[in-house]
């Protein structure tokens, strides 16, 4: 009996309370940092509460965040372990610069894109599209365009 009550309690927490807290805190922090609505914390809090309640009322958005949070936690742990090991190797200061910074940025953005596509259900559509005959031609074109964009963005600026 107690296990069922605890299970219902945690189910409600993970479906309602945790997402509303996450969205409220993120919205409040972003509004406070950007000062879009000024510096009045009461206004920021009320706007953040309204956005969080609207967010929780939309099941599609709530489900996406519920699926992305575990991914975020795993990526944060992997990055933390890497930073600890990197710090041991360098004996102190850990600074990610140059090519390593670009590599991490590409890996993080690609992982996030895959996680968002998987959470929204579009990943299967993308895989099916890639496996078709016409999809291969289109994908080669997309890869070439993306390679050009990455080259233009990453190359050092001319002085």
pLDDT band at 46 (very low <50, low <70, confident <90, very high): very high
Per-residue burial over 106-118, b = 16 or more CB atoms within 10 Å of its CB, e = otherwise: eeeeeeeeebeee
Question: According to the model, what pLDDT value does residue 48 have?
Answer: 92
- Identify the H or E element spanning 76: helix 59-90
pLDDT band at 157 (very low <50, low <70, confident <90, very high): low
Report the distance separating Cα 91 and Cα 88, nearest Å.
5
Minimum mean pLDDT among 7-11, 15-19, 41-45, 105-109: which range?
7-11
- How distant, in Å, are the alpha carbons of 27, 36, 144, 150 from that of 103? 29, 33, 19, 12
């Amino acid at each position: 009996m107690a296990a069922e009550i605890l299970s219902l309690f945690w189910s409600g927490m993970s479906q309602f309370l945790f997402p509303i807290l996450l969205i409220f805190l993120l919205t409040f922090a972003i509004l406070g940092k950007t000062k879009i609505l000024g510096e009045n914390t009461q206004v920021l809090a009320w706007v953040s509460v309204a956005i969080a309640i609207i967010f929780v009322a939309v099941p599609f958005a709530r489900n996406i965040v519920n699926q992305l949070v575990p991914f975020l936690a795993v990526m944060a742990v992997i990055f933390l372990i890497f930073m600890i090991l990197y710090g041991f190797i360098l004996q102190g200061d850990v600074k990610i610069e140059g090519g390593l910074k670009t590599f991490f940025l590409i890996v993080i953005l690609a992982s996030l894109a895959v996680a968002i596509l998987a959470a929204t259900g579009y990943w299967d559509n993308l895989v099916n599209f890639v496996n078709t005959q016409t999809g291969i031609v289109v994908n080669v074109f997309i890869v070439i365009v993306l390679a050009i964009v990455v080259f233009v963005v990453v190359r050092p600026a001319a002085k």
